[in-house]
């Protein structure tokens, strides 16, 4: 089992969801987050005061999948989120030690599907 965590641009969410759905991956959690990376942010002037904005709005996707779907999930996120510009995001793939479906008490790969 794998846990795929991706940080993407908010405007790319619909494209990423469509790519994931096309690969039969429906389970995901989406969280609004602020972060900084190579994009570094920008400066703006508000009421005569120069403000530096380092933390930019991103979305964090968390997708628990069986091992055979991990590569497909990464491909789908790449296809939907890639604009070719700085700030497209990053994807992490982690080993998932255990999973338990609360309603049925299924464990392991059966709980992921």
Residue 53 has pLDDT above 90, yes or no: no
Taking 80 as the threshold, does the pLDDT of residue 41 lie above it? no
- Sequence-ordered list of residues with C-beta below 8 angstroms from that of 29, at least 6 positions apart, any chain: 61, 62, 63
Give the model's pLDDT for residue 94: 97
Residue, of 33 and 47, whose pLDDT is higher:
33
CATH number of 2-112: 3.30.70.120
Mean per-residue pLDDT over the chain, rounded: 91
* Domain assignments of the chain as residue spans, ordered by start: 2-112
pTM for the model? 0.85
Q: What percent of the chain has pLDDT over 90?
A: 72
Tens digits of per-residue pLDDT, 55-99?
889 999 999 999 999 999 999 999 999 999 988 999 999 999 999
Q: Is the dihedral of CA 76, 94, 59, 31 positive or negative?
A: positive
Q: For the chain, first and last CA: distance in Å?
A: 11
């Amino acid at each position: 089992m794998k846990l795929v965590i991706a940080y993407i641009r908010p405007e790319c969410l619909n494209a990423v969801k469509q790519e994931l759905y096309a690969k039969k991956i429906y389970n995901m959690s989406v969280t609004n987050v602020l972060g900084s990376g190579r994009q570094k942010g920008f400066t703006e002037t508000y009421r005569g005061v120069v403000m530096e904005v380092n933390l930019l709005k991103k979305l964090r996707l968390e997708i628990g999948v069986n091992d055979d779907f991990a590569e497909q999930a990464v491909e789908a996120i790449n296809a939907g989120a890639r604009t070719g510009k700085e700030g497209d995001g990053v994807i992490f793939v982690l080993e998932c030690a255990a999973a338990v479906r609360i309603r049925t008490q299924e464990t392991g790969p059966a709980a992921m599907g």
